[in-house]
Amino acid sequence: MTRFRSLVYGAVTVVLLIAALFLTNLDFAAIASASRQLTGLSLLVALVLLLAGALLAAVRLWWISSDIGTPLRFRDAVLALSLGQMAGAITIQFFGHIAARTALLRKRGVSNSANIVMATYERAAAVFVSAAMAISGVTYLFGELSYDFNKGGTKLLVIVAGLLFVTGISAYAVWGRYALPLVKDLATLKVSAAILRNAVLTAVIQLCTAGAYVAIASSLTGAIQLSHLFAASLVVMFAASLPISFSGWGMREISAVFVLGAIGVPAPVALTMALVIGALAFVAIIALAVIAVPFNRAGDAPIPIGDVRSVALSAALKWILPIAAATAVYFQIRVPTGTGELSVNLADPIAILGGIVFVSEYRKNPPWRYSATPAIVAIWTLVVALAYANGYFAFGSNDWATINRLLGWLILVSYLLTGALIVAQADERGAALLAKTLTAAACGVVLFWSLLEFARAAGVVLPPEIPAGQLSGFSQNRNAFSFALLMALCALPLIDRRHRALVFGLMCFGLWLAGSYAAAATLAVIIGILLYLGTMTWRSLAAALLGVCAAILILQTRFSAGSADSAASSIALDLTAFVPNMVGRESSNLERLASLKSGFSLFLSHPFFGAGLGHFINAQAAAGQALVIHSTPIWLLAETGLVGFAAFVVPAALLFWQEFKTRNADPASQVLLLALAAFGVMSQAHELMYQRPIWLLLGVALMMRHAIRRA
């Protein structure tokens, strides 16, 4: 995973560096001339400041380790900081830090969970302090901080508001009462003082780096005020901290060209400054590691760790990560990069951490519901890897195959493990908590967009960036959103009976707003299974559907009243109002059918092992089109062949049959039946393999063990 993800971030880094070079008009002579102006004194001062910042970062890690009850020796903190920074320079900063530190600190008696807590604590402190300092720098330079609502600002505001709303609903309905004692424990004078101390230390570290920028600039830019250079460097430092390249390379250079250029620094000089700072920072880290290594011995006995804070934080992490993933999984956003836009789920980094914690804590004989689960996941992973290799050797692969399918598959496994993590920690209690969070978050998303729809119906003029009509929530796609709501329905067996009708009604209203034919057909199957299993009664189902019809009638009546010329028409009952606008554009339907036909033709030409991951997209790109295969079975057949198709379908079918035969009241069995049936129906018309919610839910159900025969 790290290697392929590193290739992706490496490509972004190279593109950004090339973009920075083009922004300087490729004036290599000017860059060389600027480099020759650097004095030995300025380089020495910058190096000393960067070395001091790295040393202070080690002090911060040392303090944080004591704060969480896992005290490190200072020499271990220095070496862990150095190795983590060096690993982050050749991989992804955050995850590179964790991987390198784990290899070192495990021998020092530090658990993986505690290591993740420390790394997250450091990252959070750095992000908040760096952002605050960047805002102050922009305000100083330009007198104000502007926000453009016409260039993506409204969408960002809606996402932030939605995330806060959904988190608030989840906290109020599910986990808030459990988190309150933890918040009270943290809201003490001692903890507040520790947080403030670390924030101040982080600010000093940032100031050291900013001072290094000024030291370099002093020998390159004589006419520009040093205070302006200092303020601009704060913005450049924040951009370099964004984890979309290798240790800031690329982001640092291109942001320096823009930001420093805004205060009059020539582009070649700005690029030279950024390159020199990046190189000196890496030299400082290497120097720190060279100094620390002789004082660290692998055979050192670990410091005795008996503080209950470390144990409590490690246990809390196994609750926090799954709950956070269940809340954030509904938010699929597009992040701008140097090569375009990258679709990212906000829960992905959380799930990756959850997978790391699960593997580190339960790597030996994890208590799966079916003992064959690890072998099945391994087979699926092998199929994806071989299909990628098949495509790579056939046509060279592409970004869709590498990022979306190969790396995306490993992220899906992380979701599975994150769902299993909370159940392995707390069994049925953990499963119920995650299921309630998943459904509460889905209810929050539906409520958020429903309020906007009712406001629009009442005559409130909303910005054009807030879409009307077929609802896609925060999923960027109405079918993906509909499938996420269906997965929330599949979690009903794990939540209290008294809440099932309310959740069912809200999900149905959300599905009506989304308007997906495939989701409507799947909903009918889910209703049948819910009634067959006794998860819902006819009475509760009828009550929920009546509530949905009432909400639709109110919404449609308000729309009619707002657009009619006469008051009489506002109360007219139009039965077609209950049928959502599910008919897509004719061209869209033709494209869908064309993709299915082309996908099946691709399967016929490569029947056994498939054409390889990304083959279909590669062919479409060559033809100047951008189609995907709108069916999971046909996609599997086309790109993994009969072998890959059977490897996925046979275990899933056997699992479904095994659970169907038991016909017991086990909630996990009901969840598995519902989820697999929903996926089996809706995936015929859409490619849903890489939708995150089902993997989170499967992880929960496959870790619940009671009243089940082992496979």
Give the pLDDT score at 438. Answer: 95
Q: Is 175 a member of any domain?
A: no
Q: Is 304 a member of any domain?
A: no
Strand partners, 343: 334
Chain-centroid distance, C-alpha 587 = 33
Amino acid occupying residue 340: G
Q: Is 634 a member of any domain?
A: yes
Q: Which residue has the higher pLDDT, 565 or 616?
A: 616
Q: What is the mean pLDDT of residues 327-353?
A: 73
Q: What is the mean pLDDT of residues 476-501?
A: 92
Task: Write the pLDDT tens digit of every residue in 100-158.
Answer: 777 777 777 777 777 777 877 777 777 788 778 877 877 776 654 444 445 445 777 78
In this structure, of 220-234, 646-660, 676-690, the range with the lowest mean pLDDT score is: 220-234
Give the pLDDT score at 528. Answer: 93
Say how far apart CA 492 and CA 138 lie, in whole Å. Answer: 49
Residue 137 and residue 68 in one domain? yes
Task: Write the pLDDT tens digit of every residue in 371-423.
Answer: 889 999 999 999 999 999 998 888 877 777 887 888 889 889 999 999 999 99
Between strands 332-337 and 340-345, the pairing is antiparallel
Give the pLDDT score at 567. Answer: 42
CB 632 within 8 A of CB 648: no
Give the pLDDT score at 666. Answer: 85
Q: Is 166 a member of any domain?
A: no
Distance set, CA 475 to CA 138, 285, 326, 682 (Å): 32, 41, 14, 17
Residue 332 and residue 289 in one domain? no
Tell me the pLDDT band of 559, cut-offs 50, 70 and 90: low
Q: Is 154 a member of any domain?
A: no
Residue 390 and residue 438 in one domain? yes
Give the pLDDT score at 689. Answer: 93
Say how far apart CA 58 and CA 231 lie, in whole Å. Answer: 25
Residues 6+ apart with CB under 8 A from 222: none
Residues 6+ apart with CB under 8 A from 273: 213, 216, 217, 220, 256, 260, 265
Average pLDDT, the chain: 77
Residue 93 has pLDDT above 70, yes or no: no
Burial of 25 by CB count in 10 Å (0-12 exposed, 13-18 middle, 19+ buried)?
exposed
Residue 510 and residue 598 in one domain? yes
Task: Write the pLDDT tens digit of every residue in 607-656.
Answer: 999 888 888 887 777 776 767 888 999 999 999 999 999 999 999 999 99
Give the pLDDT score at 482. Answer: 94
Residue 329 and residue 290 in one domain? no
Residue 170 has pLDDT above 80, yes or no: yes
In this structure, of 34-43, 294-303, 583-592, the range with the lowest mean pLDDT score is: 294-303
Domain that holds residue 240: 2-145+187-295
Strand partners, 693: none
- Dig out the tokens for 247 from the structure: 């240790």
Tell me the pLDDT band of 310, cut-offs 50, 70 and 90: low
Where does a domain end: 295, 315, 348? 295
Where does a domain end: 295, 311, 343? 295
Give the pLDDT score at 259. Answer: 67
Give the pLDDT score at 76. Answer: 82
CB 251 within 8 A of CB 240: yes
Phi, psi of 342 (to 5 degrees): -120, 120
Residue 674 and residue 626 in one domain? yes
Domain count, the chain: 2
Q: Is 672 a member of any domain?
A: yes
Say how far apart CA 536 and CA 528 lie, in whole Å. Answer: 10
Give the pLDDT score at 225. Answer: 73
Residue 333 and residue 247 in one domain? no
Q: Is 570 a member of any domain?
A: no
Residue 610 and residue 671 in one domain? yes
In this structure, of 59-63, 315-319, 369-373, 550-554, the range with the lowest mean pLDDT score is: 315-319
Q: What is the mean pLDDT of residues 528-556?
A: 88
Give the pLDDT score at 440. Answer: 95
Residue 502 has pLDDT above 50, yes or no: yes
Q: Which residue has the higher pLDDT, 319 or 526?
A: 526
Q: Which residue has the higher pLDDT, 562 or 102?
A: 102
Residue 557 and residue 691 in one domain? yes
Residue 532 has pLDDT above 80, yes or no: yes
Residue 449 and residue 551 in one domain? yes
Residue 279 and residue 381 in one domain? no
Q: Which has the closest alpha carbon to 530: 550, 511, 504? A: 504
CB 34 within 8 A of CB 179: no
CB 242 within 8 A of CB 254: no
Q: Is 171 a member of any domain?
A: no
Cβ atoms within 10 Å of 602's Cβ, excluding its own: 20
Give the pLDDT score at 245. Answer: 44
Percent of the chain's residues with pLDDT above 90? 25
CB 593 within 8 A of CB 629: no
Say how far apart CA 405 and CA 689 lie, in whole Å. Answer: 10
Within 491-534, residue ranges assigned H as helices are 497-514, 517-533
Q: Of the segments 119-128, 297-306, 679-688, which one has the largest average pLDDT value?
A: 679-688
- Dig out the tokens for 378 from the structure: 């391994």
In this structure, of 87-96, 161-170, 571-580, 639-648, the range with the lowest mean pLDDT score is: 571-580
Residues 6+ apart with CB under 8 A from 489: 503, 504, 507, 523, 526, 530, 674, 678
Give the pLDDT score at 616. Answer: 83
- Dig out the tokens for 703 from the structure: 């870790």
Residue 14 has pLDDT above 60, yes or no: no
Tell me the pLDDT band of 239, cut-offs 50, 70 and 90: low
Where does a domain end: 295, 311, 344? 295
Give the pLDDT score at 177. Answer: 84
Percent of the chain's residues with pLDDT above 70? 74
Residue 82 has pLDDT above 90, yes or no: no
Residue 445 has pLDDT above 80, yes or no: yes
Q: Which residue has the higher pLDDT, 170 or 583?
A: 170
CB 166 within 8 A of CB 441: yes
Cβ atoms within 10 Å of 628's Cβ, excluding its own: 17
Q: What is the mean pLDDT of residues 513-529?
A: 92
- Dig out the tokens for 559 from the structure: 């729309």
Residue 69 and residue 112 in one domain? yes
Q: What is the mean pLDDT of residues 656-661?
A: 88
